Structure 1
Amino acid sequence: MNILLTGGLGFIGSHTAAVLAGEGHEVVIIDNLCNSQRQTLGSLEMIAGKKFPFYEGDVRDLTLVKSILQDHQIECVIHFAGLKSVAESGVDPLKYFDNNVGGSITLMEAMQAANVKKLIFSSSATVYGIPQYLPYDEEHPLSPMNVYGRTKLQVEEILQDLSRSDPDWSIVCLRYFNPIGAHESGLIGELPQGIPNNLMPYICQVVSGKLPHLNVFGDDYDTKDGTGERDYIHVMDLAEGHAAALAFTRDHKGWEAINLGTGIPYSVYDLINAFEKSAKQAIPKMVKERRSGDLPIYFAKVEKAKNLLNWEAKRDLQLMCDSSWKYQQGAKR
């Protein structure tokens, strides 16, 4: 298939591009490079052994997106483009609604004009909010705790309304849990700009000497070791989940929300211990007060992905850490 990836040079988008190219799909990428690097394109092309058509641009540019869809005879769009900092979303909510919701609406308008009606949306487990029960299944009530999560939920709801208005649409909203890890080549991985917001890239920068120590926000939660527990998933498993969702859209119409996780909660200390094995060194850390809005524990119920997509995560926590460290070592050279 001819597939457009919005935000395709970002962390998850680039790994998905590698998987799809490996399956023989023709992948076109648009990215405004606000939280990604142009050099990722060269790394992707080394992995795939082929060139990718690339457009430096924004999904809010209706004319550009329409022309890409038409010129490349796009059959499906995988929509990754979006701002993702929970903290920043609370400080600048208009920026997040404009980019994440407004950009998605413009993309849908372009797709409608070009008669492209297959869409896979990069959503998030943040749409669930405070757990009423665990694991989160797709029927769990939706009540995001932050602006970022509300932008994801609003796009999901708009997509659901769009599919109701036109039964020809095939839309899958993939609710990610906590992607970490890197491609096995070590050529692409997570390289955020500035101080990382997420645990794994922060650990990488501490171990590589860019940051002095890791802050552990709370060690007094009601969890197995007092630190927060999360459902970490290898980014390559997540990328393969998108390939499975793409196959699903060929034969199914309507709207579906599907969790992509492992179903296993790992603590902050679990992650630190595994990474210390990968890097063969201790990670300096300081315990700080809990952060407002952090949940003690959450993880996915994953049966729907198994049943509908014939997909499940295969890679374990140690491989997540090993691959992250391999990428970090290459990135600092």
Structure 2
Amino acid sequence: MNILLTGGAGYIGSHTAVVLMQEGHEVIIFDNFSNSKRSVLNRLEKITGKLIVCIDGDIRNRSLVKQTLQYYKIDAVLHFAGLKAVGESSEDPLAYYDNNVAGTISLLMAMKSCSVKILIFSSSATVYGVPHYLPIDEKHPTDPESPYGKTKLQIEQILSDLAKSDSSWRIFALRYFNPVGAHESGLIGEDPNGTPNNLMPYISQVAYGILDKLKIYGNDYDTPDGTGVRDYIHVMDLAEGHLAALDYVGNHNEAFSVMNLGTGNGCSVLELVNLYEYEASKKIPYEISARRTGDIAACYANPEMAFLKMGWKSKKTLREMCFDSWRWASTSLQKHKD
């Protein structure tokens, strides 16, 4: 298949590009590089041994999206493009609604005009909000607290309405839990601009000596060690989940589906710190701070539907996630010191 990856130079998109290309698909990346780097393209070529086709553009540029869909005879779109920082979304909600929601509408309009009706959407477990029960399955109520989470849920609602209006669409919304880790080559991984918003890259920068210490927000939660518990999933398992979803929509007549991608296991902040210290042979200094507004004690997935429907389940361990993150960090972070 000819597959367009919006935001394909980003963290999850780039790892998914590797999996798709190794499976024999033709991949075209569409990215505005607002939170990704062009150097990823050369690294993808080293990993895959194939030339990477990339369109430098914004999904809100509907005419460019349409032109790309037509020129490359696109069969399916994997939609990763979107702003994704929870805190930033509260500070600048208009940017998030414009980029995420309006951008997706622009993409869908272009797809509709070109009769491209297969879409895998990068959603998030943030759509669930504060857990009513654990583990979280797809029937759990949705009540996101941040503008970021609300944009993801609004997009899901738009996709559902679109599928109801035209049953020839094949749309899959994948609700990620907490992606971490990196490709085994050490050539690509999570490389945020500025101070990391996510835990694993922050730990990596502390381990490498870029940042002095990790700040742990709260150690008085109702969890085994008092720190927050999350469902961390290796980014390569997540990439394999997209391949499974693409295969699924090609063989089933469901116009719209949602599905969790997680491990089903919770890991606390302190557990992750201890594992990372072991795998990296580095000490991770940390301090305990007050809880942040909106943080919750625990959140982890019930991933059974993904296995029952797609035959997919996570394979990699937390130790592998930490080891692969450190391998990537130890090769990529030197630039921050230079």
State the TM bucket, normalised to the shorter chain: over 0.9
Matches within 5 A, 1:1-333: 1-252=1-252, 253-333=254-334
Where does structure 2 lack aligned partners over 5 or more consecutive residues? none
Q: Deviations over 1:163-184 (max 9, x none)?
A: 0000100000000000000000
Between 44-53 and 154-163, report the one with greater CA deviation: 44-53
For the residues of structure 2 that align with 1:208 and 1:2, how far apart are their CA atoms?
Answer: 39
Residues 190-234 of structure 1, C-alpha deviation per residue, up to 9 Å, x if partnerless?
000000000000001111111110001001100010000000000
One-letter amino acid of the structure 2 residue matched with residue 7 of structure 1: G
Q: TM-score scaled by structure 1?
A: 0.99
Distance in 2 (CA, whole Å) between partners of 1:192 and 1:281 is 21
The answer (yes or no) to whether the contact 2:230–2:267 under 8 Å persists in 1 is yes
Q: Percent identity?
A: 56
User: One-letter code of the match for 1:311?
Assistant: W
Equivalences, count:
333
Q: Offset of 1:249 from its aligned partner?
A: 1.2
In 2: Cα distance, 1:68 partner to 1:281 partner: 46
1: CA distance, partners of 2:115 / 2:244: 23
Q: Runs ≥4 in structure 1, deviation > 3 angstroms?
A: none
SS at structure 2 position matched to 1:19: helix
Q: Distance in 2 between matches of 1:239 and 1:261?
A: 12
CA contact (8 A) 2:118 2:249 kept: yes
Post-superposition offset of 1:332: 2.6
CA distance, structure 2, for counterparts of residue 56 and residue 194 of structure 1: 22
Superposition RMSD in Å: 0.6
Whether the 8 Å CA contact 2:205–2:333 is kept in 1: the answer is no
Aligned letter for 1:316? T
CA distance in 1, matches of 2:69, 2:55: 12
What TM-score does the superposition give when structure 2 sets the normalisation length?
0.98
Following the alignment from structure 2 to structure 1, what is the Cα–Cα distance between the partners of residues 266 and 287?
22
Q: Structure 1: state its 5+ residue gaps.
A: none
Q: Deviations over 1:252-283 (max 9, x none)?
A: 23100000000000000111011001110210
Task: Tell me the distance in 1 between the aligned counterparts of 2:304 and 2:330.
Answer: 36
